Structure 1
C-alpha cells in the first residue's frame, strides 16, 4: 500500500490508476540523484559537464550568455525557476585558483545574471553562492560554479516542506530564451 492511502481496499489506488493528483512525479531528478553527468575524476578530461557544455550550441546547452572567461548557464536541477550558474571556462575547483581577470568577470556576470532575472521575471531577491567541495554541498566539486537563485516573496510554498520538491512552471528552454533576451550587454 502507498503511504497516505486509505486502509479501505475499495479506496486504494494502484499503479496506473488515476489518482486525482495525489502523487507528485519528478522523474528528471533521478539523473541527479544517481549522479549522472558527474565527472569521474578531478581533471578536465574526466567527463566534466562544465567543460563540455560550451562546445554545444547555446540552445542545446542552455547557455544564456558567454564572455571571454566565464559563461552563464541554467541549472539542470534548479531550486527555483531561473536558477542559473556562472561558470569559468577553465577547469578549477577552488575560488582561490581563479585569476584576477576570471574573478572580475565572474562577479560582473553575476551582476548581469541578477539584472536579466529581474528584467525577465521580476525576482524580488537572490541567493548567490559557491559550494566549495563535496562536503559543502557542491554537486560537481571539481569545477567551480556560482549559483544565482532568484527568489520571490512567498516562493517557499508547501511543496518544499511537504513534498521535498520544487514546482517549476516553465520548461528550461523557455526560461533560457527569456533570460538570454533580457541579458544586459
Structure 2
C-alpha cells in the first residue's frame, strides 16, 4: 500500500496487459495495418468475430468495458457514418438489434450503451475505420472495482464469450431472418 493523499492509503491493482494498448502498440497508422480490415481475413476464433454479414461484421472488443462488449464494423475502411451506403446503414442497424437481443439472451443485460466516437477528438481509438460499440450494462455494474480500483472484472475469457455469443447469434439471426455469413 502507498499513501496517495492525506491519510488515505490507496491499493493498487495491476493490469499490465493494458499497457500495450495505452502505449499505442499495435494501433494502426493507416489503412494498411487497420485491425478492422485485418480481422475479417482471420478465422472467427482468432479474430473474435461473432457474426459476419454482407457489409458488416460483429466482433468482441479486445479491451472490453463489460463482458459481451461488441463492436459492429463495416468491412469497408471508412472513417465517418456519413460515408456508409444505405445498405451498410441498414445492416449496421440490424446487427445492432441482433447484438442486443443476443447479449440479453445469453447474459440478461439490463441495458446497453450504443455509440460511435467519430474522429480522434471525439475519443475514437481507431478513428480511420468506423465502428459502433454495443456495451451491455447491468444494475450495479459500476461498482468499486472500476470506480475506485480502475479495473474491470470480466467473468469469462474472450474466446469463451465469442463461442457463446456466436452460437446464440446464429440462433437469433435465424429467428429474425437476418442473413449471417459464417459463424
Q: Per the shorter chain, which TM-score range?
A: 0.7 to 0.9
Q: Which has the higher contact order (CA 8 A, sep 6+)?
A: 2
CA distance in 1, matches of 2:153, 2:77: 32
The number of aligned residues is: 165
Pairing partner for 2:14 from 15, 25, 29:
25
Report deviation, 1:31.
1.6
Q: State how far apart, in whole Å, the 1-side matches of 2:3 and 2:105 are.
A: 42
Secondary structure of the residue aligned to 1:87 is strand
List gaps (5 residues or longer) in structure 1.
Answer: 6-21
Distance in 1 between residues matched to 2:166 and 2:3, nearest whole Å: 43
RMSD: 1.3
TM-score (norm 1): 0.86
Once residues 158 and 61 of structure 2 are traced to their aligned partners in structure 1, the CA distance between those partners, rounded to angstroms, is 9
1:23, CA displacement in angstroms? 4.2
1:160 aligns with 2:146: yes
* Alignment match of 1:108 (pick from 94, 100, 122): 94
Q: Which has the higher helix share?
A: 2
Aligned to 1:13: none
SS at match of 2:148: helix
Q: Give the gaps of 5 or more residues in structure 2.
A: 5-10, 174-183
Rg: which structure is higher? 1
Q: Does 1:129 align with 2:115?
A: yes
Q: In 1, Cα distance between the equivalents of 2:156 and 2:105?
A: 17
TM-score (norm 2): 0.87
